[in-house]
């Protein structure tokens, strides 16, 4: 199947999933819910979302210390990656842009891929560690969590050589550098959960910050599945389903999931501008 056809199907699937989510509530009820939002928690939610992206830029600067990135450069490629991620399956676009950018500064793909992998792993560890605390301190799910299996793959000689190169790149990360990455990764996870919590508080109360930590972990997994463009439909469905499982009303859950997507689009605007300025079209 041609790439254009595959991407077209992913767009259609994302739109279909989003339409399915919207069909769960009456349009008038959803509109009334959005109009009743408390602006103060909304502002706090967006501020936390901005802080999360600043932390993400800081993480990028630290993990790619060897490439001599300034904080401004690291933040720019983070935001451009967020923008491009809106048009690629899952989180692929964001990572591919960073690898391309770093490859232009220093030839080679293995090192940036290894360091990006380290960044992703640390981020996931912190998200799920916070979610674990959420399961202990929060209200608790109304359903049993799903389990996942991991498939073991055989590696050929060439693949083993690449893996060794990746492992070597990760080993060169210094202890203070790793410590800073862990703290910033934890900051990203907390800011993400705070943003979602304040979004929820704009419409309803009764849900805890710890509950949102679990929902964030749920949506992180859904967003990583590369079956729709930019995670459209998947992330909204994961957020809304998680909130409903914690007792939120459907209109509130759908409204929160939609505004969460709007935040992603708004934060992508500087990245889009930077991408257009930096890309030679002629």
- What is the tally of structural domains in the chain? 1
The yes-or-no verdict on residue 156 having pLDDT over 60 is: no
Residue 207 domain-assigned (yes or no): yes
Burial class of residue 246, CB neighbours in 10 A (0-12, 13-18, 19+): buried
pLDDT digits (tens, 9 = 90+) for 2-61: 666 666 777 788 888 888 888 888 888 889 988 888 899 999 999 999 999 999 999 899
Three-state secondary-structure class, residue 89: strand
**What pLDDT shows up at residue 254?**
92
**What pLDDT shows up at residue 153?**
36
Q: Which structural domain, as residue segments, surrounds residue 136?
A: 37-108+120-142+174-278
Residue 233 domain-assigned (yes or no): yes
pLDDT digits (tens, 9 = 90+) for 188-226: 999 999 999 999 999 988 888 998 999 998 888 888 777
Residue 155 domain-assigned (yes or no): no
Q: Which residue has the higher pLDDT, 234 or 225?
A: 234
* d(C-alpha 196, C-alpha 184), whole Å: 18
**What pLDDT shows up at residue 146?**
34
Residue 22 domain-assigned (yes or no): no
**What pLDDT shows up at residue 16?**
86
Q: What is the mean pLDDT of the chain?
A: 81
* d(C-alpha 197, C-alpha 162), whole Å: 41
pLDDT digits (tens, 9 = 90+) for 89-117: 766 777 888 888 888 888 878 888 888 88
What percent of the chain lies above the pLDDT cut of 90? 22
Residue 76 domain-assigned (yes or no): yes
Residue 160 domain-assigned (yes or no): no
Residue 114 domain-assigned (yes or no): no
Q: What is the pTM of this model?
A: 0.78
Residue 21 domain-assigned (yes or no): no
């Amino acid at each position: 199947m041609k790439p254009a056809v595959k991407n077209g199907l992913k767009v259609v699937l994302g739109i279909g999933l989003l339409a399915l989510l919207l069909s769960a509530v009456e349009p008038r009820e959803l509109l009334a819910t959005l109009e009743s939002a408390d602006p103060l928690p909304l502002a706090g939610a967006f501020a936390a979302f901005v802080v999360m992206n600043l932390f993400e830029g800081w993480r990028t600067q630290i993990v790619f210390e060897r490439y001599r990135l300034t904080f401004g450069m690291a933040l720019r490629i983070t935001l451009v990656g967020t923008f491009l991620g809106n048009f690629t399956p899952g989180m692929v676009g964001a990572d591919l842009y960073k690898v391309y950018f770093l490859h232009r500064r220093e030839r080679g793909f293995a090192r940036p891929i290894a360091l990006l992998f380290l960044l992703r792993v640390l981020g996931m560890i912190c998200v799920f560690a916070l979610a674990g605390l959420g399961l202990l301190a929060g209200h608790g799910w109304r359903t049993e969590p799903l389990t996942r299996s991991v498939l073991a793959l055989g590696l050929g000689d060439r693949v083993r050589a690449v893996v060794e190169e990746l492992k070597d790149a990760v080993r060169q990360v210094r202890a203070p550098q790793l410590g800073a990455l862990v703290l910033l990764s934890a900051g990203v996870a907390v800011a993400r959960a705070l943003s979602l919590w304040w979004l929820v508080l704009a419409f309803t109360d009764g849900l805890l910050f710890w509950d949102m930590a679990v929902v964030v972990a749920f949506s992180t997994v859904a967003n990583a599945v590369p079956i729709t463009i930019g995670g459209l439909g998947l992330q909204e469905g994961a957020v809304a389903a998680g909130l409903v499982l914690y007792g939120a009303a459907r209109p509130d859950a759908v409204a929160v999931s939609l505004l969460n997507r709007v935040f992603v689009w708004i934060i992508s605007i500087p990245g889009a501008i930077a991408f257009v300025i930096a890309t030679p079209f002629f």
